[in-house]
Amino acid sequence: MVAVLDATPRVHLSQEASLEAAFYLAKRRTLVIRRATGDRIVALVEIVSPSNKHNRDEIESFVDKVLAALRQGIHVLVIDPFPPTRHDPQGIHGLMWEELGEPPFDLPADRRLTMVSYCAKSPIMAYVEPTRVRLALTERPMFLTKTQYIRMPLEATYMQAWAGVPQRWRSVVEG
């Protein structure tokens, strides 16, 4: 017999995450692209959020997730709109490149944000675009196969989304 209980479980210790951690976890974003036949995942778009850079464990978890996808043949576009932290001094891509056993990646001093298209072929190929705030977002390749990709119109997409933001919130963001 299975019983469904509606009471606090009796355990040695109960802990609740901080509101800040819950807020960051809710902000994670992933877009999945699947093959029409068979519904197989072929690509992911990962937009790095503050939760991904919240601490060393979160960054490592993010890097592990992206590398696991690549090793399974899933192509990944990583958009990292946040500056490096002490946990990722050369950005998320720097950590990923290091995990792949490659020579260190150095971000340019004047472009500390990155957009990286990873092609899941052997060896893994990274198409890196360092950027900065107030610089137009360039189109990025989103690989669907090892040789074929589509161009992701990031600036046009962002501008279209921004056009839908109510003026009240635009004022808050723009100051």
Contact 68, 36 (CB under 8 A): no
**Quick check: is 158 in a domain?**
yes
pLDDT in tens, 32-53: 666 667 778 899 999 999 889 9
Domain membership of residue 97 as a residue range: 26-170
In a domain, 149, yes or no: yes
Q: What percent of the chain has pLDDT over 70?
A: 79
Q: Is residue 137 part of a domain?
A: yes
- CA dist 138 and 129 (Å) reads 8
> pLDDT below 50 — which residues of the chain?
3-4, 25-28
Query: Are the C-beta atoms of 157 and 142 separated by less than 8 Å?
Result: no
Residue 17 lies in a domain: no
CA torsion, ordered 152, 158, 164, 165, to nearest 10 deg: 150
How many structural domains are present in the chain? 1
pTM of this structure: 0.78
> Does a structural domain hold residue 103?
yes
Are β-strands 149-152 and 113-119 bridged in parallel, bridged antiparallel, or unpaired?
A: unpaired
